Structure 1
């Protein structure tokens, strides 16, 4: 099996951070793939992964599976929601949620054709046709949709690069504060704020770095609440009530 280099930076604007570039990333651009079977709750998914990708959207992390199980256990919070996933990578989590719960979900990741095509490929080989809608977008840039109508944003393991937190918070603030609901009124569980961001963070980083992100959210007018199993609910402060 090829050694895969990976990180959750797939939506980040480019920079010259020393910790975001490895020697291997500069060796060449030849791309190769491998399809692997991954066990999700109640199903196996065949996911094509890059052996290496310069934008770090190539491989599944273990936290994806834990978040998938948590979301399945709390599926009432997803029912009737329009969902967008940040940093979709291979698209595996979104594919799992669509197949298991039939949710309305959009994938998103760095503005890169290979990443978009790979998510589409993984949709097709797992029987999702037409493929899930996808948005190519770099955190901190102007969002391509001026009135976002997703009332649930999700992401798994996306806090590796501390210097990119302001870009992520800027994007979250836009998606949550500029939310415009569609005309139709879906039945949803109002114990979860509308809109809101559910983030699973299972990879360990320094406590100071973790607090830097959460404090940045608070300073941007967003409320942060830990809702269990290292899953956090982040929402506009005025809609931050979450039932336990």
Structure 2
């Protein structure tokens, strides 16, 4: 049995205090597709309590960097939850969506997130950050040498389609519904030169469009 001890806040202005349904679903999906994580440099956007990243580190044995908006309370709670689950402290990036990213040459092969589409007004800022991370991606020299084994990953989607994922890629689980308004996020991504695919279990794959 996989068990985590996660501290939540009774209130936080941006809901970085709670565990949402998509996190549980995404943990299960990633467990079933753990080969996607192997050999990858991984960043989580909107880490909140850190539960998803802690699960990945503790049970899937993969290193990961957490990230959330510039807030000391959120960062300290991730540290607390790492210690509570006997996981080494995870690297953390403070970043408010839409603002200049603190890393000028991002080298994360895989970016993940779960249930981060709650605030519709933040979609343009989220898309701006996501576009930067995907379009400004710089593969490290070591990873370039290993490109033959790590650059491409292949999965079979829920519809039976064989899909090849090339670095960099963003995988997101979204299980909440707010009147279909999340469609504005996906269309915004397409408008910004990103390709969006629904690959099953409410998991979405977003990557730079080749012709963009």
TM-score (norm: length of structure 2): 0.89
Where does 1:1-244 land on structure 2 (aligned, <5 Å)?
A: 42-129=1-88, 131-185=89-143, 186=146, 187-188=149-150, 189-190=152-153, 191-207=164-180, 209-238=181-210
Structure 2 distance, partners of 1:201, 1:63, is: 6
Deviation at 1:54, TM superposition (A): 2.6
Q: CA RMSD in A?
A: 1.5
Tell me the equivalent position of 1:22: none
Tell me the equivalent position of 1:26: none
Structure 1 distance, partners of 2:115, 2:60, is: 22
- Greater C-alpha radius of gyration: 1
Q: CA offsets, 1:182-227, max 9 Å, x none?
A: 11134324322210000111001222x2221111101100000010
Deviation at 1:55, TM superposition (A): 3.3
Aligned structure 1 segments of 4 or more residues deviating by more than 6 angstroms: none
Structure 1 distance, partners of 2:185, 2:14, is: 22
Q: Contact 1:194/1:239 (CA < 8 Å) preserved in 2?
A: no
SS in 2 for 1:118: helix
Structure 1 distance, partners of 2:102, 2:211, is: 25
TM-score (norm: length of structure 1): 0.78
SS in 1 for 2:172: strand
Deviation at 1:104, TM superposition (A): 2.1
